[in-house]
Structure 1
């Protein structure tokens, strides 16, 4: 079997029948992380072939580590019998994420293959709003009653340990299943067997099932909780959000913001297994928006065509000024978007943010303006240098102020700041920057 060392599992092309035993042997010697990474780098067709070579237990472990979008692609590439077993083995919250990515016909078939109990849990979570924590929580948990003893709680934990999402944080509920507290497994283990849960429990940090998942995940992470109880409008316990799920929600949100800040939609699947058409589709919307916005810049240039003819050198500085304005606005927008995500500012702070960003932009513009004035004066003449310097000052102040305001405005109108800010700032700063530039040039140069 030493020959299997030479097989390249990620190589493009079909696997010959003789290669399959070698590939299976190599996969068997790899860790789960290594197998996941290998399949992540393969084309979708090759990934499906290698996936079938894994044992049932290993296949489920690897499948759970994939993004929901990639899971959906893999489900379409696998045989029906492979898919049924995989789907049934997932936790309810993972099933919901996968069902959001597959066609409705396939989703209905996958649900019909579940046991009545698992189908009920999954269907219940599907009924919550798309971005709510109810779609990301786990309905499988261990709970206790205030009158339980520590010994009885330990018996319950032993009985439910394999099916519960976590056993380290135990919600405490009354007879109507209303949350009244939480107790940690450490406290249960350290207490005498006859100690009452009511004497050990603490006031819970909780969230409502309809709350935004990202906000709840951030609260869970910042409070260093192992899990957070999730309740309905009547404070009845419906699930828990574990810290690993909270971190995954935050990672997904960060990936989305980074992609959109770069003018694209997140792929949510491996690059090498994503078709060129899907990659293009993730980018084309933003390119179209920016292309249309560029027409406004062209219109501004047309208005000042006579000014350019009298002072052709002004055209040389257009890329510098528009680029500086766009970059300054993007920096401000990125800073405020992060501050919003971290809860450092809210939409009510728009006045304070505008004033602060205006001061920051003015400071940056003053520094860049002095540099621009000096260089343009040395290379061309002092009036030209004065135009460049004053324009940089005005553009930076304007761009920073607008860039700081956009995420707050987006939040106020319930639009993703990362989606709204980038195209608007690019369009606004380019067009407005040119208006400022040519207006100052006409006044200073007298043209």
Structure 2
């Protein structure tokens, strides 16, 4: 209830008394509730709310926002307040924000950092976009392999307040090369004089240039708390934590779902996204799909004479195109997800084609048999046979194409989701109609 009260208060005139009341209400809310409220408010009102918080809470709330949303607030906060937040952020969060800012503003913010923080930020900024290095934290507590457990614990205590995590501790040799990893629980449960080399375990690591999504999914699949990130020579350069991996996969999944629906993922929460941005996220796809759908019109025009002779064929067009599109979309969604999880790779395309062809044929056989019986009773056996055979053919084609397209997209280094539902629906509409009319001509001797 306090969240709604605070939202109503922020929607009115911001007098000194109202600001004081807003600060009191915000003090009684959790950071998560404040984040949720900021995501629903306009930029101006969200900045007012941030300014009612103490520095620690304001930073925690700001860092929890999407980078694109942060960039909008930076423009509204004012230079001093925005600079203070930027300087206090972690290096990896700074880089995400810098990617959303204009070059001049990004350069200005970088100039405000002290040499150490600028160096850490530049280390992350120097990694390729979309790589795991762009999402790692360089503030990692490493333990020399020559240390004892007691010495390692001493290093942890010294870095408690500035390290990204202390629950996963990379172990390195004298050259900084990763040789193992050590969990804090194991460290605490071991006698102080024990050498670290005796209690460390082999490290699951990521290379700084690897794809962020692929590395994050592998991270989560292994159920890790932290994963060391190394360079090409296996020297330790940073670490990724479980919250980083979850954020990466959430962004990727949101983008895939949006593209499967024929739109672009919103980069800010819905209520804080301008109407113009909502339109831009959808209009390009609608135009592309409208042009693609013209293929269907061309097919109908080619077979206009067939429709004129047997008008009843027109009644089944929505059924056939809809079934083909849905079958293709099901296959594409399944394979896109399997690619994201690593269950399928581009090398498996022949196996996927065979499996999806069999699945499509079985689905088509079931649906076609039902259609033959129902349409045959109502419109006669010949019409029933046309509909049954078309469903068998369309489902087989749609499932095979739907399974293949995401894999082909990945081979072409495109997002598999782009080739998913919208384009496959258009493709199966056109090909399904061609198959339909060819079968009708053959069976009905038109």
Please, what TM-score do these two structures have when normalized by structure 2? 0.96
- Name 1:9's counterpart in structure 2: 7
8 Å CA contact retained: 2:6, 2:26: no
Q: Trace 1:357-396 onto structure 2 (pairs within 5 A).
A: 357-396=356-395
* CA distance 1:223–1:6, shift in 2 (3 Å): closer
- Name 1:281's counterpart in structure 2: 280
* CA distance 1:41–1:266, shift in 2 (3 Å): same
Shift of 1:187: 2.1
Q: Output the CA distance in 2 between the equivalents of 1:369 and 1:307.
A: 22
Q: Trace 1:27-106 onto structure 2 (pairs within 5 A).
A: 27-106=26-105
Q: Output the CA distance in 2 between the equivalents of 1:13 and 1:64.
A: 24
Residue 272 of structure 2 aligns to a residue whose secondary structure is coil
Q: Trace 1:293-332 onto structure 2 (pairs within 5 A).
A: 293-332=292-331
Matched, 1:205 2:204: yes
Matched, 1:151 2:156: no
8 Å CA contact retained: 1:14, 1:46: no
8 Å CA contact retained: 2:386, 2:440: yes
The Cα RMSD (Å) is 1.6
Residue 298 of structure 2 aligns to a residue whose secondary structure is helix
- Name 1:444's counterpart in structure 2: 443
Q: Output the CA distance in 2 between the equivalents of 1:255 and 1:99.
A: 22
Residue 192 of structure 1 aligns to a residue whose secondary structure is coil
Shift of 1:21: 2.0
- Name 2:427's counterpart in structure 1: 428
* CA distance 1:207–1:49, shift in 2 (3 Å): same
Structure 1 unaligned residues grouped into runs of 5+: none
How many residues get paired? 444
Q: Output the CA distance in 1 between the equivalents of 2:304 and 2:358.
A: 33
Q: Output the CA distance in 2 between the equivalents of 1:113 and 1:224.
A: 38
Q: Output the CA distance in 2 between the equivalents of 1:312 and 1:370.
A: 22
Shift of 1:12: 8.2
Residue 238 of structure 1 aligns to a residue whose secondary structure is strand
Shift of 1:14: 4.7
Shift of 1:16: 3.3
8 Å CA contact retained: 1:260, 1:418: yes
Shift of 1:433: 0.4
Matched, 1:261 2:250: no
Shift of 1:106: 1.5
| Cα offsets for 1:22-59 (capped at 9, x unmatched) | 22221111111111111111122221222221111111
| Cα offsets for 1:110-148 (capped at 9, x unmatched) | 111111111111112111111110001110011111111
- Name 2:136's counterpart in structure 1: 137
Please, what TM-score do these two structures have when normalized by structure 1? 0.96
Q: Output the CA distance in 2 between the equivalents of 1:13 and 1:246.
A: 36
Q: Output the CA distance in 1 between the equivalents of 2:414 and 2:233.
A: 29
| Cα offsets for 1:67-106 (capped at 9, x unmatched) | 1111111111111111111111111111111111122222
8 Å CA contact retained: 2:364, 2:396: yes
* CA distance 1:174–1:350, shift in 2 (3 Å): same
8 Å CA contact retained: 1:214, 1:253: yes
Matched, 1:189 2:213: no
| Cα offsets for 1:336-359 (capped at 9, x unmatched) | 111111111111111111111011
| Cα offsets for 1:237-268 (capped at 9, x unmatched) | 10111111111111111111111111111112
Residue 349 of structure 1 aligns to a residue whose secondary structure is helix
Q: Trace 1:95-134 onto structure 2 (pairs within 5 A).
A: 95-134=94-133
